[in-house]
């Protein structure tokens, strides 16, 4: 792969800047990572604010490149979304996550699993629709569809194609619930919450942070929670780092919390004893 890389460089013009080169190199490493399955998943608990119990975990991808070390998904997921690698990566995530979930279920641990899905996966080019992939994976791993949650961002809903709505409706029909990630950060229109089969809103960390800092943002979060409730949606507060944030969001009526205060994302192996103990927060 290294030799190929050098061959390719002759096509670069001097005007290409360093960041572009860096990106192309990263892309090449990413291709090799897909080939050699250099990814792993970490899982972050989502805790019921009412009972303090872990009700689900969110699968978060991790990539350890032999040369770069750990590369943040914030960096490589957008690249993968652009060059199409998100499709094989997304399929790998789905497979691994369901494998780990079925192992936890086999141990008698009652748990739901949330998986992040990019819009590019929903409307994929390889010809297989994501709802078909999902239905097949759930069946193969013997998982009840109700235990699985798909996290999507507002950008997916911006895509006007009726195809996307069709895929999401079909996913919901399977029994899998759809969660709106990073709520409030995109160009969200409230009408999306009715048009698309959304069951849960995840309030973005920036709101969780700011709600404690100023009253205007606190009012905004309170309004989001009230609106969510009136639409019969559940609410998750993301990125809770302090006890004060937990108390505030709970008092506002949030149903679930997630963040470093409760737990960082952990490898399945490290999480198993915590889940098995039924630890409460
Ligand atoms: P996200 O879906 O919004 O995930 C939450 C991010 O916030 C995660 O970063 C998580 O580690 C981090 N986080 C959780 N609690 C706290 C906290 O209390 N404080 C702070 N500062 N951060 C917290 P991570 O794992 O680096 O993932 C970044 C983003 O990459 C994700 O944001 C998601 O958009 C994307 N991503 C991760 N895994 C996947 C995947 O399997 N597929 C796709 N399509 N995207 C993924
Ligand atoms: Ca997420
Ligand atoms: Ca999020
Ligand atoms: Ca995010």
**Residue of the nearest CA to atom 35 in ligand 1?**
73
Using CB distances shorter than 6 Å, the residues near ligand 1 are 44, 59-61, 72-74, 77, 93, 116-118, 151, 181-182, 239-241, 259-260, 265
Q: What are phi and psi of 190, to 5 degrees?
A: -60, -25
What pLDDT score was predicted for residue 2? 42
Distance 45 CA to ligand 2 centre (A): 12
* Alpha-carbon gap, residue 120 to 149, rounded angstroms: 18
**CA dist list (Å): 162 to 42, 153, 181, 196, 217:** 33, 17, 21, 11, 34
What pLDDT score was predicted for residue 111? 98
ipTM exceeding the 0.90 mark: yes
Residues with CB under 5 A from ligand 4 (ion): 182
What pLDDT score was predicted for residue 20? 85
The ligand whose atoms approach the alpha carbon of 182 most closely is 3
What pLDDT score was predicted for residue 126? 72
If we measure between CA atoms, which residue out of 155, 233, 162 comes closest to residue 198? 233
Element housing 115 (H / E): strand 112-116
What pLDDT score was predicted for residue 227? 93
Residues with CB under 5 A from ligand 3 (ion): 181-182, 238
What pLDDT score was predicted for residue 233? 97
What pLDDT score was predicted for residue 188? 67
* Alpha-carbon gap, residue 266 to 100, rounded angstroms: 13
Average pLDDT per block of 10 residues along the chain, 281 residues long? 48 67 92 96 98 98 95 95 93 97 98 94 79 96 98 80 86 97 81 90 95 93 95 97 97 98 98 94 90
**CA dist list (Å): 154 to 51, 99, 107, 200, 268:** 30, 28, 36, 13, 29
Tell me the three state secondary structure of residue 30.
helix
**Residues contacting 79, CB < 8 A, separation 6+:** 23, 26, 27, 30, 85
* Alpha-carbon gap, residue 6 to 210, rounded angstroms: 47
What pLDDT score was predicted for residue 145? 98
Distance 59 CA to ligand 3 centre (A): 12
What pLDDT score was predicted for residue 98? 98
What pLDDT score was predicted for residue 186? 76
Which atom of ligand 1 is the closest one to the Cα of 260? 18
User: Is residue 214 left, alpha or beta, with left meaning phi > 0 and alpha meaning psi from -120 to 50?
Assistant: beta
* Alpha-carbon gap, residue 5 to 11, rounded angstroms: 11
């Amino acid at each position: 792969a290294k030799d190929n890389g050098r061959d390719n460089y002759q096509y670069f013009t001097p005007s290409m800047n360093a960041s572009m080169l860096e990106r192309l190199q990263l892309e090449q490493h990413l291709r090799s990572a897909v080939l050699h399955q250099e990814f792993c998943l970490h899982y972050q608990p989502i805790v019921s604010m009412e009972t303090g119990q872990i009700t689900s975990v969110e699968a978060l991808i991790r990539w350890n490149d032999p040369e770069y070390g750990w590369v943040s998904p914030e960096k490589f997921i957008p690249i993968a979304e652009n060059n199409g690698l998100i499709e094989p990566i997304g399929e790998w995530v789905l497979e691994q996550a369901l494998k780990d979930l079925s192992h936890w279920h086999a141990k008698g641990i009652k748990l739901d699993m949330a998986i992040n899905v990019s819009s590019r996966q929903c409307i994929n080019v390889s010809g297989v629709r994501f709802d078909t992939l999902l239905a097949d994976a759930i069946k193969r791993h013997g998982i009840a569809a109700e235990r699985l949650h798909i996290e999507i961002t507002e950008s997916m809903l911006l895509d006007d194609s009726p195809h996307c709505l069709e895929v999401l409706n079909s996913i919901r029909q399977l029994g899998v619930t759809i969660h709106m990630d990073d709520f409030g950060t995109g160009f969200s229109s409230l009408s999306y919450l009715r048009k698309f089969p959304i069951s849960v809103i995840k309030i973005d960390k920036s709101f969780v942070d700011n709600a404690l800092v100023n009253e205007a943002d606190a009012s905004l979060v309170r309004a989001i929670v009230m609106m969510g409730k009136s639409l019969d949606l559940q609410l998750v507060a993301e990125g809770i780092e302090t006890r004060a944030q937990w108390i505030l969001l709970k008092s506002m009526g949030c149903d679930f919390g997630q963040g470093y205060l409760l737990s960082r994302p952990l490898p399945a192996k490290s999480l198993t004893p915590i889940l098995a103990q039924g630890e409460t927060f």
